[in-house]
Structure 1
Amino acid sequence: MEDQAVQQEPEDVLSDSLYTLYDYVPVARSSAGATFTYTTPDDQATLTLATPDPHHSNWNLHASSIWVAALWIADHIAELLGDFDVSCHKNVIELGSGAGLPGILVAHKFRNWSITLTDYPDPNILKSLEESIQTNQVSANARVVGYDWNLPRHGDFDLILAADTIWNSSLHDAFISAIRNNLNHDSDRSSCAFIVAGFHTGRWTVAKFLERLSASPGFSVDVVEREAQGTGRRPWCVERDNEDEESRRKWVVLITVKWAIA
């Protein structure tokens, strides 16, 4: 297998070096229009992704990077899907895909699952996702759909994945509606959404989202903090004494959403 560093963009080699030498966790990798190479922790799969370069009118989407939350989902996908019967067909949707790392990895690992990658209907974002689907040879079970959360769209998905989609509090209600409209009402309540977010916009943004989510009826919500690069975990806390930006970078929040059992 080729060395991952050989295939990486220079800024990603630098990011790896900063963590190795200084224990510094970058909040994002890659850059607009660049190629990003990801290798799973077990070295069993390598993906090559096109990082989107959105139209200038959509730069505020921040879709031109691969954020630490997407990397965390990819690194821990086996753990997250541990309760799923992977031999049975599942419908999966990724909300706010960006470069599509989590969704494309799932499509690569589980060829009998159907994966829908979604993001705001910016042609450049959707084109990059289509390119990555072709490059990683998952076109048989993965597709790309433009999705504006403010517009009604209903699906029937067993699994929802979302990485760094709650940094903008003005979109919290629309995002929660997207979860509600797409999470399968299965009889055994096994369907779930995994939402992972970094703390680079602060803890209060996450707290605001959790407040809105808790106020939305019918959901069962579990929240835990996980080490961004490692296996550590700790309870979610909206405030941590003496926590600076560098310390926050070392953690993400994992939010698991299911339908509540009546």
Structure 2
Amino acid sequence: MTPTAITPNDDASTLSDEGIEETFADALALLFSVPQVAVTARPGRVWTHANTGIRVCIPLTAKDENWTLQADAVWLASIFLADHLDLFDADSFKYESVLELGSGSGLLGLAIATRFPQARVVLSDYPDEGIINTLKQNIRLNNLEERVSALPLDWNAPETLRSRRFQTIIAADTLWNSQLHLPFCRTLRKSMTPDADIHIIAGLHTGRLTLQRFIETANQQGFDVINTMEYHVSNSKKRGWAQERPEETQEDAAHWLLYINMKRKVDSINYTYFK
């Protein structure tokens, strides 16, 4: 299955100047065969993910300075994983308690809740009122209030989780800022059960060096990186992770995503380290 584009609802408002800009950007991507790394729209507009039927509004941050959170888009990594939930082993996937970090619009977590009817999912993002309210709105849009909730979570203050622990943690395109790798890992440690599975996907537009730095930080922080695999965004190709591909152009990199599966190290670190 190839990843689908997110298309506007039939009942969406007619194209404004912003809509024309979106259409122009789509045309450029097709013309030069470069995939968009994110789908953007004016905040509040409802979009539908074709393969799942999930409807999401694009978040608008309540504070202007929070635009750097990059929450005002649906990122290609999230779309790809929502399209390819078969990457998760259905027999071993721990859907009873799922936490999504850096949810943005919440597409990925909502897709998991839709795919696994018994799933209990928490969507989390930086405690900006605009982002969190949009997550709550998107939960209601998809009639998932009974099994999905939204949680404000600052990676620099993961103690807000208190005693909550999750069996599965997912994140899409959250590794682009290497300064947040350590807080991100600490949040993972605070939020995971001893046997939790961690699934992370990131576009290679993030940069191979930045992604390798995260892998090294995760190892240093007591995580066992079990699987690192590169996936092409528009076909079934996959290949092992490489720190460097000297022949790769920026255009080439835009066609690939890195999937990372991690658990805590069992034999080299005591679980008390994760508290």
TM range (shorter): 0.7 to 0.9
Structure 2 portions without partners, runs of 5+ = 1-5, 268-275
Matched, 1:124 2:134: no
Measure how far apart 1:12 and its partner are.
6.0
Distance 1:176 1:130 in 2: 25
Give 1:1-262 correspondences, 5 Å limit. 5=7, 7=9, 10=19, 22-33=32-43, 34-40=45-51, 45-54=52-61, 55-84=63-92, 90-151=96-157, 152=159, 153=161, 154-186=163-195, 191-262=196-267
Distance 2:24 2:39 in 1: 10
Q: CA deviation at 1:220?
A: 4.0
CA contact (8 A) 1:214 1:221 kept: no
Letter in 2 for 1:182: S
Q: For 1:6 and 1:157, how far apart are their aligned partners in 2?
A: 33
CA RMSD of aligned residues (A): 2.2
Deviations 1:230-262 (A, max 9, x none): 221111112112212111100011010113343
2 CA distance for matches of 1:35 and 1:118?
A: 20
CA distance in 2, matches of 1:7, 1:176: 37
Distance 1:234 1:131, change over 3 A: same
Runs of 4+ in 1 over 6 A off after TM superposition: none
Query: Quick check: 2:198–2:262 contact (8 Å CA) kept in 1?
Result: yes
Matched residue of 1:184: which SS?
Answer: strand
**Alpha-carbon spacing, 1:123–1:243, altered in 2? closer, same or farther (3 Å):** same
d(CA) in 2 for partners of 1:128 and 1:30? 15
Whether the 8 Å CA contact 2:96–2:167 is kept in 1: the answer is yes
Q: Note if contact 1:119-1:147 (Cα within 8 Å) is conserved in structure 2.
A: yes
Gaps of 5+ in 1: none
Deviations 1:44-82 (A, max 9, x none): x30110110112120110110111111111011122243
| Deviation digits for residues 80-101 of structure 1 (CA, Å, limit 9, x no counterpart) | 2434267xx6100000000111
- In the TM superposition, what is the alpha-carbon distance from 1:207 to its structure 2 partner? 1.2
Does the residue aligned with 1:243 lie in a helix, a strand or coil?
coil
In the superposition, the TM-score normalised over structure 1's length comes to 0.87
Q: How many residues align?
A: 249
Shift of 1:24: 1.8
Question: Is the partner of 2:251 in helix, strand or coil?
Answer: helix
Q: Percent identical across equivalent pairs?
A: 30
Secondary structure of 1:63 counterpart: coil
> Retained in 1: the 8 A contact 2:127–2:153?
yes
Instruction: Please state how far the C-alpha of 1:229 moved relative to its aligned partner.
Output: 2.2
CA distance in 2, matches of 1:32, 1:73: 24
Structure 1 residue 116, shift from structure 2 partner = 0.2
Aligned AA for 2:186?
S
Q: Which amino acid aligns with 2:191?
A: N
- Structure 1 residue 31, shift from structure 2 partner: 2.7
Normalised TM-score (structure 2)? 0.83
Aligned-partner residue type, residue 70 of structure 1:
S
The structural deviation recorded for 1:15 is 6.0
**Whole-Å separation in 1 of the counterparts to 2:255 and 2:262:** 23
Q: Give the 3-state SS of the residue equivalent to 2:166 in structure 1.
A: coil
CA distance in 2, matches of 1:46, 1:200: 27
